[in-house]
Amino acid sequence: KNQVEQSPQSLIILEGKNCTLQCNYTVSPFSNLRWYKQDTGRGPVSLTIMTFSENTKSNGRYTATLDADTKQSSLHITASQLSDSASYICVVIQTGANNLFFGTGTRLTVIP
Where along the sequence are the contacts to another protein (CB under 8 A)? 31-32, 34, 36, 41-46, 49, 89, 93, 96-100, 102-105
Q: What is the DSSP letter of 21?
A: E
- Of the pair 51, 81, the CB lying nearest another protein is at 51
**Choice between 29 and 112, CB closer to another protein:** 29
Q: Is 67 exposed, middle or buried (0-12, 13-18, 19+ CB in 10 A)?
A: exposed
Phi first, then psi, for residue 26 (nearest 5°) are -125, 15
Nearest to another protein of 29, 96 (CB atom): 96
Q: What is the DSSP letter of 74?
A: E
Minimum distance of another protein from residue 25's CB (angstroms): 13
